[in-house]
Amino acid sequence: MTRALAAALPRPAFLGEVAKLPAFLRRDFLVAWSYRVGFFSDIASLIAQMLVFFFIGKMIDSSSLPEYGGVHPSYLEFVTIGVVLNAFVQVALSRTADALRTEQMIGTLEALMTTPTATATIQLGSAVFDLVYMPLRLVVFLVFMTVAVGIDVEISGGLPSLVVLIAFLPFVWGLGLAAAAAILTFRRGGGVIAVGTMLLGLASGAFFPLDLLPAWIAAAAEYNPLAIAIEGFRDALLGGTGWSGVGDHLVLLFPISTLSIIGGSVLFHLALSRERRRGTLGLY
């Protein structure tokens, strides 16, 4: 088979699209690396935040916190898991939502849309760097807290936590797509996303036990995917419960994540079709 003929043969569309994702990853890494100060200040701000909780933790009796694997964690251990996952949602959600908006603002969206690339690939591609970077950032931060501050983390809980994170990721992405649809349509949405993530965080048990909330909110919060993911992480990493501790959380997370990604994709597709129909895709 000649090279020309091989090149002329159509590649399976799905694989062809997947093969384009590393291009986005490289692009966004190079852009992020060109802002080195931002790269490191991001981690520094997270560490500064933890210093605040370190001192707050000195006032809190650990027996008032829930047990994980039969042990009461310290407040710093308790809140570290909550803060990293909450920060993960905040950043991943806003960046997924803003991915196409950013392309629109810097003027590259139409150039991308005139390439033979599926819209879903452009959307995912524009967020893929953050979807890879954010979990890495989470892991790096947990390692830092373990080594530098001495929080007690069960190494055996690493893999189950990772699976919880993988099950949780489509929920964030779906929510991001829905937010992206709103931003494409209304050209604004940062404020709504900020309020939404704050409410999600408030009812997640990230900073304090859910029992402290009014009973009806606490009952509803049991189904908050962020709360489920945080509890899964705490069970695995603080309680050392292994796979048995995360099973229940995964059973809840998978359907919610599936619904989120399907709903978000439909809304995003509708918003994009509307923009195309109106001819306002490149306008901001």
Partner 1 sequence: MTPSFAIRVPPGAADLPGRADETRSPLRAAPEPAALEAASVTRRFGDVLALDGVSLAVTRGEVHALLGPNGAGKTTLLRAFTGLVAPTSGAVRVIGRDASRADRWLRALTGFVPSGDRTFYLRLSGYENLKFFARLHALPRRDRTARTLTTLERVGLADSAHRPVSTYSHGMQKRLSLARALLMNPSVMLIDEATHDLDPAASSEVRSVVEELAQEGTAILWATQRIDEIRGFASSVTLLAEGRVRFAGSVQELMARADAPRFVLGVRSTGGVDAEALNATLGGSATIAPVDAQHVLLTLGPETLLGDAMCAMTRAGAAVVSCNRERSEIEQAFVALTAGAGE
Per CB under 8 A, residues contacting partner 1 are: 3-4, 7-11, 16, 19-20, 22-23, 26-27, 30-31, 34-35, 106-108, 110-118, 276-279, 281-282
Query: Which amino acid is residue 65, in one-letter code?
Result: L
**Least distance between partner 1 and beta carbon 87 (Å):** 25
Q: Which is nearer to partner 1, 57 or 282 (CB)?
A: 282
**Least distance between partner 1 and beta carbon 281 (Å):** 6
Coil/strand/helix, residue 71: strand
**Least distance between partner 1 and beta carbon 95 (Å):** 16
User: How many of the other CB atoms lie within 10 Å of CB of 266?
Assistant: 14
- Helix, strand and coil content of the chain, in percent to the nearest 5, comes to 80, 0, 20
Burial class of residue 208, CB neighbours in 10 A (0-12, 13-18, 19+): middle
Q: Which is nearer to partner 1, 111 or 166 (CB)?
A: 111
In angstroms, the CA 72 to CA 75 distance is 9
**Least distance between partner 1 and beta carbon 36 (Å):** 12
**Cβ 187 vs Cβ 162: under 8 Å:** no
Q: Which is nearer to partner 1, 34 or 63 (CB)?
A: 34
* Angle between the N-to-C axes of helices 36-57 and 21-34, in degrees from 0 to 180, rounded to the nearest 10: 80
**Least distance between partner 1 and beta carbon 103 (Å):** 10
**Least distance between partner 1 and beta carbon 99 (Å):** 13
Q: Which helix (H) or strand (E) holds 116?
A: none
Give the pair of three-digit tokens for residue 259: 């619904």
φ and ψ of 191, to 5 deg: -65, -45
Q: Which is nearer to partner 1, 30 or 262 (CB)?
A: 30
Q: Which is nearer to partner 1, 126 or 197 (CB)?
A: 126
Q: Which is nearer to partner 1, 163 or 281 (CB)?
A: 281
* Angle between the N-to-C axes of helices 119-144 and 242-278, in degrees from 0 to 180, rounded to the nearest 10: 140
**Least distance between partner 1 and beta carbon 133 (Å):** 17
Burial class of residue 227, CB neighbours in 10 A (0-12, 13-18, 19+): buried
Q: Which is nearer to partner 1, 242 or 282 (CB)?
A: 282
